Chain A
Amino acid sequence: MTAPLVRHEIPGDAAWSARVRVGRALRLTARGPGANCSTLLFAAAHPVDRLNIADTLKAQMSARVHAPMVLMSDLGTALCSVTGSSLDWHDCISGHSLDAHVMAFGPSSYHTDRNGHRVSARAGLLSELHKHGRGPADLHGCVNFFSKVAVSGDGVLTFVPDHAHAQDWVELRAEQDLLVVLSTAPHPLDPHWTPAAVLAEVRPAPACGEDDPSWTFRPESARALRAAREVFA
C-alpha cells in the first residue's frame, strides 16, 4: 500500500473532520474492540448536498452499509464508494449518540475529568460542523462504521456487541470532493462505554471505471456514479 497523504489517529470518543478530494480513498481502521465511527458526508462543492441514507438504502435494496455499495447524496450523486471492508455490516439506521445517552454512564465534565471527559457524538459532530460554517440544520442520518444493529422479522432492533475488533477496516473512495465529519463516541445502543480509537488514512485511489465492482453492483449504483462525474458540466 502506498504511503498515506494524510494519517491521523482519532482517539476514542473524539470528533474529526477532513476534506477529501475526488480520486482519493479514506481508510478507517479500528484500533480496539467496540469501535464506532458516526460519520456525516457532504458534497464539499455544494451548499446543501449531503448523504441521504434513505436514498442510499432503497436504491441498493439494503438496510446496512457494505462493500461495494455507493453512498448517495440528496441530489442523486455518488459521494463515495465503499471499496472494501473487513466487515459486511455497518449500521446506518440508528443514528448517533446524544448527551442523554452519555449521561447514562454517570456524570462527567471537563472540570472533573479533563480531556478524558465523556462527549456525545452530537456534541463532537456539531463542534466539527461549526468549524466549516455549518450547524444543526446540516445534521443528517449518519453511518455508524464498525457497528451492527440487527433487525428481527417484525422490525425490532438489537445491538450486536463485539462486532468490530482491532484492525477491522473500511475504505471509502471519494467520487467527488467531500467533507467528512465523524465522531468516535460509542454507538448510542452500546451498553458499555469502551470508546476505541480509529486510524484515518487518505491515499490516492484509481478512478472508478465502468468495470469497477461499485459501478457493476447495481444499475442504480452506476447511475449515481455517473451523476458524480457530471456534478460539474
Chain B
Amino acid sequence: MTDMLTTALDVSVADGDGYAGVVPAGGRLRIVDVHGNQAVDTLLYDAADLDNRYSALDTIREQGAVYLTTGSRLLSVDLDPLATIVDDTCGRHDTLGGACAQESNVVRYGVHTRHQHACRETFLRHGARLGITARHLTHNINFFMNVPLTVDGSLTFEDGVSAPGKYVELRAERDIIVLISNCPQLNNPCNGWDPTPVRLLGWWAS
C-alpha cells in the first residue's frame, strides 16, 4: 500500500520542540528515534472532533495490556480507533507516564525546575493553532519510553529500551491530528540524560 502513497512529510523535530499536523485516513506516520533513547510525547485527536481524543486508559483496557507495540489500536475516548501501530522496531512504548510539565517537575524534582522547559508547554504552544487547549490535553503516549509496572503495583522510570534509528509507524484510521512534544526532560533517564532530535516521515495520497 505504501507504494501508492507519496512522501508527504519529512521533518526533523529538535529536542524541546514539537509538531502538530493532520494525517489523513490511511496515511502512515513514522517517528524515528534518530539518536536513540528519546521520549516522543504524542497525542492524537479525531480531526473532526477534538473531544474525541486519544485515551490511554481506554486503549490499555481494551487491549488488555499496559504497553503499546505493533498491532496496538490507539483508541479515542469514544473507543474509535484513531490509529494503529503497524511497525515497531523498538518493541515497547509507554502510555501511563504522562508528559512532563513545569509544575509536575516541581513536584518531582523541586522548585529549582519550575522554569525549565517541559512537554506540556510544547503541547499547548503547537496545539493552539489547531484549537487544542489545556482542557483537550490528556494522558499521552511516550514513544520509546520505558516505564515498567510491577506485579505489586509499583511503577518506575528506567533507561530507554530504544536505540539509534529505531522507529515506530502509525496508520491513521480516520483523519487525525498528531500533536508531538519531543521531550526536553533533563531530570530523569527518559531521554538518556541528553535530549536529541527525532525525524517524522509521512506517507499519504497527496
Q: Does chain B have a CB within 8 A of A168?
A: no
Q: Does chain B have a CB within 8 A of A201?
A: no
Chain A residues, CB < 8 A from B138: 140-141
Q: For chain A residues 128-183, which have a beta carbon within 8 Å of chain B?
A: 135-142, 150-157
Chain B: minimal CB distance from A107 (Å): 19
> Known: A58-B97, A156-B65. Is A137-B155 also a contact (CB below 8 A)?
no
Q: Does chain B have a CB within 8 A of A37?
A: no
Closest to A136 in B: B51
Closest to A54 in B: B98
Q: Does chain B have a CB within 8 A of A45?
A: no
Chain B residues, CB < 8 A from A100: 79
Chain A: minimal CB distance from B63 (Å): 9
Q: For chain B residues 102-116, which have a beta carbon within 8 Å of chain A?
A: 103-104, 106-108, 110-111
Number of interface residues of B (CB under 8 A): 44
Question: Is the Cβ of A95 less than 8 Å from the Cβ of B58?
Answer: yes
Question: Is the Cβ of A94 less than 8 Å from the Cβ of B61?
Answer: yes
Question: Is the Cβ of B155 less than 8 Å from the Cβ of A63?
Answer: yes
Question: Is the Cβ of B155 less than 8 Å from the Cβ of A62?
Answer: yes
- Interface code A56-78, partner B: CB below 8 Å = 1, 0 otherwise? 01110111101000001011110
Chain A residues, CB < 8 A from B154: 61-63
Cα distance, A93 to B77, chains bound together (Å) = 14
- Interface stretch among A12-20, A109-117, A220-228? A220-228
Q: Does chain B have a CB within 8 A of A44?
A: no
Chain A residues, CB < 8 A from B139: 52-54, 141
Chain B: minimal CB distance from A226 (Å): 9
- Interface code B139-153, partner A: CB below 8 Å = 1, 0 otherwise? 100000001011101
Chain A residues, CB < 8 A from B96: 54, 57, 63, 93
Closest to A96 in B: B57
Q: Does chain A have a CB within 8 A of B193?
A: no
Question: Is the Cβ of B106 less than 8 Å from the Cβ of A54?
Answer: no
Q: Does chain A have a CB within 8 A of B39?
A: no
For A72, A139, A150, which residue has the most chain B Cβ atoms within 10 angstroms? A139
Question: Is the Cβ of A52 less than 8 Å from the Cβ of B104?
Answer: yes
Q: For chain B residues 44-78, which have a beta carbon within 8 Å of chain A?
A: 50-51, 55-58, 60-61, 64-67, 77-78
Chain A residues, CB < 8 A from B136: 137
Q: Does chain B have a CB within 8 A of A98?
A: yes
Cα distance, A148 to B135, chains bound together (Å) = 28
Chain A residues, CB < 8 A from B99: 54
Cα distance, A48 to B139, chains bound together (Å) = 15
Question: Is the Cβ of B67 less than 8 Å from the Cβ of A95?
Answer: no
Question: Is the Cβ of A76 less than 8 Å from the Cβ of B103?
Answer: yes
Pairs of residues from A and B, 9 with the lowest C-beta to C-beta distance, nearest first? A54-B98, A76-B103, A95-B57, A64-B153, A136-B51, A94-B61, A137-B135, A155-B66, A63-B155
Binding site for A on B (CB under 8 A): 50-51, 55-58, 60-61, 64-67, 77-79, 96-99, 101, 103-104, 106-108, 110-111, 120, 133-139, 147, 149-151, 153-157
